[in-house]
Amino acid sequence: MTQEEKAKRYDEALERARKLQENSNGMILKKWLWNIFPELKENEDERIRKALINYLITDEDNGVSKVGQIPIDNVITWLEKQGEQKTADEVEPKFHEGEWITNGDYTWKIVEVKPLYYILQSQDGNIIVDDTIFHADEHFHSFTIEDAKEGDVLTYKNDNVEWILIYKDIITESCDVPHDVLRYHALFTGTVFYDSGCAGMISENYALCFTPATKEQRDALEWAMSIDGYKWDKEKLKLEKYE
């Protein structure tokens, strides 16, 4: 099942649970639903807010038009806005726009953060999905070099440096450097192409500078490889020279 299908299934299940909660008067069922979907649980302030709205609507139907000197319609509108703002405030996103996230199976770029969900884009840029903040924050984490697998196309960006590379692995005390270093199958610096080598020292901050490459960056690396007479074999995980 793809991440898009999983997100759709989750949203559908959440909507069914919400309707079940609305039609239920029993606390046992509601507590069971809250345990599975915590975002459905309403706190005491929210229940009071809704009760006040219902009470004021009832009073308005009975001919009461004001609360003190304030029209009931204005009071109801204000209470409704408080609920909308509180919902948005309670969902504090863990991730931010432009960040790459992964769960080990799927990797997405966050292109926009909404009050209750993320807009996500695939690495090739062809798939756009949305996922609730609650679900994504629980099941995904920020992408780092530790999530990379051999053959992944990554970018490294720090200060004015931006590289595109095909990841190989990380080894210790090699390439004449007494630190962990990243090895690549191919590297394009924007001006120079290298067919193999080491990218340098790996530290926590250094590792965070690596993200998956976009389609445009992949195309740029492929172009650089072709200029030097190389192509990448995805099955063999090998850079090959061709005539």
Contacts for 240 with CB less than 8 Å, ≥ 6 apart: 230, 231, 232, 233
Q: Where are the domains of the chain?
A: 145-241
Tell me what pLDDT residue 123 has: 84
List, as one string, the DSSP characters of the chain: --HHHHHHHHHHHHHHHHHHHHT---HHHHHHHHHH-GGG---HHHHHHHHHHHHHHHHHHTT--EETTEEHHHHHHHHHHHHHHHHHHH---SS-TT-EEE-SS-EEEEEEE-SSEEEEE-TTS--EEEEEHHHHHHH-EE--GGG--TT-EEEEEETTEEEEEEEEEEEEEETTEEEEEEEEEEEE-SS-EESSEEEEE--HHHHHTEEEPPHHHHHHHHHHHHHTTEEEETTTTEEEE--
Longest dimension (CA), the chain: 88
Tell me what pLDDT residue 197 has: 80
Tell me what pLDDT residue 44 has: 44
Tell me what pLDDT residue 49 has: 64
Tell me what pLDDT residue 120 has: 92
Token pair listed for 157:
């960006």
Interatomic CA distance for residues 11 and 66, integer angstroms: 40
Residues 65-97: b if buried by 16+ CB within 10 A, e if exposed: eeeeeeeeeebbeeeeeeeeeeeeeebebebee
Check if the beta carbon of residue 117 is closer than 8 Å to that of residue 130.
Answer: yes
Token pair listed for 142:
């920020």
Tell me what pLDDT residue 37 has: 72
Interatomic CA distance for residues 13 and 17, integer angstroms: 6
Tell me what pLDDT residue 128 has: 87
Tell me what pLDDT residue 208 has: 67
Question: pLDDT tens digits for the chain (243 residues)?
Answer: 565 666 677 777 777 877 777 776 666 677 777 777 776 665 545 666 666 767 666 655 554 555 555 676 766 676 666 655 556 555 688 999 999 999 988 899 999 998 778 999 988 888 888 888 888 898 999 998 889 999 999 998 877 778 899 999 988 765 555 567 888 999 998 888 888 887 666 666 676 688 999 889 999 999 999 998 999 998 999 988 876
Tell me what pLDDT residue 188 has: 92
